Amino acid sequence: MNTWVEWWEIPTRTSASHAQMSENIPVFTPDPKKIYRRFFDTDVKAQKYARLMGDQGYHATVKHDRSF
């Protein structure tokens, strides 16, 4: 099984407060060229790294391909 972490920068949005929203904020889909990946041996190491990247201001997810 392969385990990896994908992370990308969260864009900063400058808008009014949520009480003044006139429309919903669209879902952000990152440019595939700006998605970074790092592979890990164990799921525990991947989770720790994803948490670290999240603390640094990135959106991080742990992914598996479930192949044996």
Neighbours of 41 (CB within 10 A): 9
Encode pLDDT of 8-63 as tens digits: 998 876 665 666 666 666 777 889 999 999 999 999 999 999 999 999 999 999 99
The residue among 40, 68, 66, 64 whose CA lies nearest residue 52 is 40
pLDDT value of position 27:
74
Q: What is the DSSP string of 3-66?
A: EEEEEEEPPP-----GGG-SSPPPPP---GGG-EEEEESSHHHHHHHHHHHHHTTEEEEEEE--
In this structure, is residue 17 part of a structural domain?
A: no
In this structure, is residue 14 part of a structural domain?
A: no
Indicate the DSSP class of residue 1: -
pLDDT value of position 43:
93
pLDDT value of position 21:
60
Q: Say how many domains are in the chain.
A: 1
Indicate the DSSP class of residue 2: -
In this structure, is residue 23 part of a structural domain?
A: no
State which residues form the domain around 34.
1-9+30-68
